[in-house]
Amino acid sequence: MLNIEPPESVKYLTYNILKISNLLKRKFPRNTKITKP
């Protein structure tokens, strides 16, 4: 079986997205309009 790993750019992107979302959660803990449409 082949061990398929995502490219570094994808890992970097997902890491940044998680980091940004965590920062937003800290800045706006009560504001759910950002996460919910």
Convert the pLDDT of each residue in 1-37 to its tens digit: 577 777 888 889 999 999 999 998 887 766 656 555 5
Q: What is the pLDDT of residue 15?
A: 92
Q: What is the pLDDT of residue 25?
A: 84
φ and ψ of 29, to 5 deg:
-70, -30
| Token digits of residue 29 | 């803990």
Q: What is the pLDDT of residue 10?
A: 87
In this prediction the pTM is 0.49
Cα dist. 30→17, 24, 34 in Å? 20, 11, 10
Q: What is the pLDDT of residue 37?
A: 56
Q: Which amino acid appears at position 6 of this protein?
A: P
